[in-house]
Structure formats: structure tokens, C-alpha cells
Amino acid sequence: MLIGVPKEIKNHEYRIGLTPAGARELVSHGHQVMVQKDGGKAIGLTDDQYKRAGAEIVDTAEEIFRRADMIIKVKEPQPAECAMLRSGQVLYTYLHLAPDPDQTRALLASGVTAIAYETVTDSRGGLPLLAPMSEVAGRMSIQAGAHALEKAQGGSGILLGGVPGVKPAEVLVIGGGVVGLNAARMAMGLGAHVTILDRSIDRLKYIDELYGDRLTTIYSTRDAIEERLPYTDLVIGAVLIPGAAAPKLVSREQLKSMRAGSVLVDVAIDQGGCFETSKATTHQNPTYEVDGIIHYCVANMPGGVARTSTFALTNATLPFAVQLANKGARRALLDDPHLLNGLNVHAGQVTYRAVAEDLGYPY
């Protein structure tokens, strides 16, 4: 199969759909890989590395879209890219179609077979191609929070781990899923005292078995949150109710109970945010202050560590890419129900129920 990897063109997107190691794997299975010139340059992945992996370097996105049987990307195709997709081609990338009727219309018109990373499943009911980005965002949330706590950033001037003789910071992680667990792990690693809240007893049990008394697990209620805010230095919002907007778990009124310069990091901002005062920010301007409380609400956190994120993404996407290339999309999809769950658009039809229902297409 001829596989094409264009350079990402979304604003400030520095990730690329395939690492040189990923290209080499596909080539070793007998496939051809084309990578757009300078596609990974911004994160230190050079054209030479791709060439050594056996890939062909191609000057333009047009050539990649014209020739490739399968396009591997990171972000949803932008309008200029949608216009180049064609019937029978496979598109393998993040799509997030439900809130994006224009992109959906363009994919339908192109006749492409579009597989969305975010809806591919695994045998444990997880979303294996979404999880790596949650791992990145969870770990990064503590870095971001620690930085925002510094005085020069408007924070309270507290070091997460304290020092001998001075107590560590209190970190409250709301939601103990992939993001929350990774945040908790980083915060504990830095020496902070961590409390993690979740609505799932099974999840709390799992976390308790993992870390014992190194952290505190509490069932998540409005009371539990309210009780802790006055002495919490850093709150990580990491809840998810699949398919729904994030519940608002901290109100503007409740900010008054917190110490000035404390920090809220709302990782769930991509689902609307779980604090009433959250609004999406960017890496260029990540924080703002409301009533003395610093908010960090970057909607695309993994993009900030684009190199790590690229490697994490290829690790997760590559096994399915190999299946698609080896067997052809039709056979690969029919053989693997988890990959089939990723199919969102095929030959002019929406093939994913939630997208069809949200956008009013037949299913």
C-alpha cells in the first residue's frame, strides 16, 4: 500500500502522523511511505531520518493526497485538505466530527473512508488511540500547575514538594481516569500531597490498590470538593462523562473560599470545562485570573509537547496502521471490531451512530 503523511497545517500544530520508526515498520511490511518535506522538522524529525527509514520525501501535500492509498495524520483535515481527499482513499486521523458539520459534509462529498482515532476501542472498553494524549495532558497538567503557582505567574508562591521543614502543596485531582491518574502520579513524584476524587468506586479501588496510603481517595460529591477547596493549592479538572459536556464542579462563588494565587488546571476544557469560570486558552497565552485564582485551560495540551506526543501517538496508532496496510482497509475493518468502531465515514455515508445522530444523518 502507498501511505502518505502530510505536514500538519492546523495553526500551531507541530505533531506529525508517523515517526521515522513507524515509517520503517510499514516499509518492512512491504509498503511504500511518502512523507511531506519538513513534515517533522519542528520537532527534530528530519527528512534524512525518514529517508533512512525507507520513506520517500515529497515536496507538496497535493502530491501526497493525489497518490496515497492511505493518509495518516494527526488533526482533522482542514478545508484545503478535505478538498484533496478522494473516493476510495483511507484517512486515518483524529476527526471529532460530532461538533463539526462542515468537515463531515466535506468528508462525505469526497467519498473517503475515514477512520477516527478517537472512536477506536479496545477489549477493556477503553479508547486506546485517545489514551496517549490523556497521559500526556495528565502529566503536563502538574508541570503547568507548578509553574502557575510561581509568584511571577500570579500564583501563591508555593513549591509543590515543599522542602525539609516546610509542608508540601495540596493537590486535588477531580476525576481519576487516564488524565487524573497521570496527574496524581506526577504530583506525588514531585512530593505534593494528593487527593483524588472519582464517582467510580471501582476506579477508586484500583487507585487505592496501586498507591495505598501514598495518596487519599475520596468519593466525588459537591460536599467533598467544597470541603477541600479552602486548603487546596492546585486543582486538576480531569472528569469525563463520555459523549457529554463536562459537569461544572467548582462554581465562581466557591473560588472565594480558596487562597489567593491558588491554581485551577482544567484539562476537561475540551469538553467545555469542569469549572464554571473556565474558558479555553492557548499555549501562547495559557493562564488568566478570576477572583485571585489562576486558571490554566489550554484545550490542546499535547500540542505543547509535540515531540513526546508524536512518539506516543505513533506507538498507539501503528499496530492498526499496519493492519490497514497489510490487509487493505475493508478486510482489516471486518476482521477487527475495535478498528471498525473507528470508522466514521465511508463512501458518502456516516457510519458512526453518535455522529449521525448529532448531525442528523441516516444511520
> Hey, which residues are catalytic here?
96, 270
**Residue-wise burial string across 94-126, b where 16 or more C-beta atoms lie within 10 A, e elsewhere:** bbbbbebeebbebbbebbbbbbbbbbbbeeeee
Alpha-helical segments (H) within 170-229: 178-189, 201-211, 222-228
Of 61 and 301, nearer to ligand NAD (C-beta) is 301
| Nine-digit cell string for 359 | 448531525
CA distance 64 to 68: 6
**What is the C-alpha separation between 72 and 290, in angstroms, rounded?**
41
The residue at minimum Cβ distance from ligand NAD is 177
241 binds ligand NAD (CB under 6 A): yes
**Looking at 301, 305, 312, 350, which residue binds ligand NAD (CB under 6 A)?**
301
Does residue number 201 form part of the binding site for ligand NAD (CB under 6 A)?
no
338 binds ligand NAD, rule: CB under 6 A? no
When binding is defined by CB under 6 A, the residue of 176, 261, 286, 342 that contacts ligand NAD is 176
Angle at 180 between CA 132 and CA 311, to 5 degrees: 15
Among 25, 81, 233, 270, binds ligand NAD (CB under 6 A): 270
**Least distance CB 238 / ligand NAD (angstroms):** 5
Give the residue, chosen from 85, 114, 174, 215, that forms a contact with ligand NAD under the rule CB under 6 A.
Answer: 174
238 lies in the binding site for ligand NAD (CB under 6 A): yes
Q: How far is the CB of 340 from ligand NAD (least distance, A)?
A: 21
Q: What angle do CA 15, 285, 272 make, to 5 degrees?
A: 75
Choose the binding region for ligand NAD from 70-78, 81-89, 157-165, 237-245 (rule: CB under 6 A): 237-245
| Residue type present at position 322 | V
Size of the site for ligand NAD (CB under 6 A): 32
Q: Measured from the CB atom, is 172 or 345 closer to ligand NAD? A: 172
- By C-beta, is 1 or 236 nearer to ligand NAD? 236
DSSP output for 40-83: TGGGT--HHHHHHTTPEEES-HHHHHHH-SEEE-SSPPPHHHHT
Cell of 340: 471498525
- Which of 220, 278, 309, 344 touches ligand NAD by CB under 6 A? 220
- Chain residues binding ligand NAD by CB under 6 A are 133-134, 137, 174-180, 197-200, 203, 220, 238-241, 246-247, 249, 267-271, 299-302
